[in-house]
Amino acid sequence: MPIVTMFGGSGFIGRYAARKLAKRGWRVRAAVRRPNEAHFLRPYGDVGQIEPVQANIRDEDSCRRALEGADAVVNFVGILSPSGKQSFDAVQAEGAGRVARLAAEAGVRRFAHVSAIGADPDSDSDYARTKGEGETMVRTAMPNAAILRPSLVFGEEDEFFNRFARMAQFTPVLPVAGGETRFQPVYVDDVAEAAVRALEGEIAEGRTFELGGPEVLTMKELMELMLKITQRKRVVADVPLPLMRFGAALTDWLPFAPVTRDQLKMLARDNVASGELAGFEAFGIEPKSMESVLPGYLYRFRPYGQYARMEKPARPDEA
């Protein structure tokens, strides 16, 4: 049974990939900072097939131990905002490079790295810059690595649609920044499938892919879609970026800041596939649409939850 070490294996995309790899006969080693919080992965496979192990992408020795005997490696680790020692540079640049270098030293042949659309070593956004630097370090250490760049990733555990749907429960106005910025949201299960196929086949070796879903919508349109699905009438207010930057400057230091100045830099740019790189078609995957997935987990934000559809016919004046 081949062994795959998954850095960030209990994260948003990693948990989907762990299930898929187990079903395909891999032994999965989920390398995470807190193994006790990753035990939920074990039932995804047979007894002993999925094992959480302690590894910190910032620590050389723990990463080396997690890589012992691995046939393949995939790195899902990424952060949206820094916290303490978990800085963009330490995690997304140096951490990614460290894992790739140690994997090469261990003789690992197949390596997949999940980056992001917009990754650019010259970007003024620390997030995009370190994603770009991480790609460069990975490619230097593992020239045959498959690099996957997804757009905005959505799914049941996402921090995007869930967050705004929760806000819409309590406020009549939904403030957004970069209302005209375009996104190409991609379903988390499709990204996980691409990562798994990158580890399984030869097609992905040494290539970079941009993974976008079938729809391109603006930030404002995404909010309107979410409100339609959650059956809530709210005003979507496009707040000017300069005003948002002023507010972010006051709250940037908070552990759970609503929005950071770095995130606003990213919101000023479209997040869609360039068309210059291959996408899901290279893996034989047809990405799922948002409307086929979102209702399955956003229903709980409707005024009557799963009973919302029953509410209208039950009222005689609207029959």
Would you state the torsion angle of the CA atoms of residues 276, 214, 145, 156, taken in this order, to the nearest 10 degrees?
150
Residue 316 has a pLDDT of 46
Into how many domains does the chain fold? Answer: 1
With respect to residue 45, please indicate whether it lies within any of the assigned structural domains.
Answer: yes
Degrees (nearest 5) of the Cα angle 7, 12, 18? 55
Whole-number Cα distances in Å, 182 to 212, 215, 268: 12, 10, 9
With respect to residue 109, please indicate whether it lies within any of the assigned structural domains.
Answer: yes
Residues 6+ apart with CB under 8 A from 1: 25, 26, 27, 49
With respect to residue 314, please indicate whether it lies within any of the assigned structural domains.
Answer: no
With respect to residue 124, please indicate whether it lies within any of the assigned structural domains.
Answer: yes
The residue with tokens 């005997």 is 69
Residue 254 has a pLDDT of 64
Degrees (nearest 5) of the Cα angle 17, 213, 175? 105
Residue 318 has a pLDDT of 46
Phi, psi of 138 (to 5 degrees): -65, -45
Q: Are 236 and 220 in contact (CB under 8 A)?
A: yes
Residue 255 has a pLDDT of 62
Which residues of the chain have a pLDDT value below 70? 246, 248, 250-258, 308-319
With respect to residue 306, please indicate whether it lies within any of the assigned structural domains.
Answer: no
Q: List pLDDT tens digits, range 26-72.
A: 999 999 999 999 999 999 999 999 999 999 999 999 999 999 999 99
With respect to residue 17, please indicate whether it lies within any of the assigned structural domains.
Answer: yes
Whole-number Cα distances in Å, 237 to 168, 173, 184: 12, 7, 21
| Residue-number span of the structural domain to which 37 is assigned | 3-154+185-213+272-287
Q: Are 283 and 147 in contact (CB under 8 A)?
A: no
Q: Residue type at 315?
A: R
The domain that holds 133 is classified in CATH as 3.40.50.720
With respect to residue 223, please indicate whether it lies within any of the assigned structural domains.
Answer: no
Residue 190: its H or E element? helix 188-200
Specify the 3-state DSSP secondary structure of 226.
helix
CB atoms under 10 Å from CB of 58, counted, come to 17
Instruction: Tell me the whole-structure pTM to 2 decimals.
Output: 0.92
With respect to residue 144, please indicate whether it lies within any of the assigned structural domains.
Answer: yes
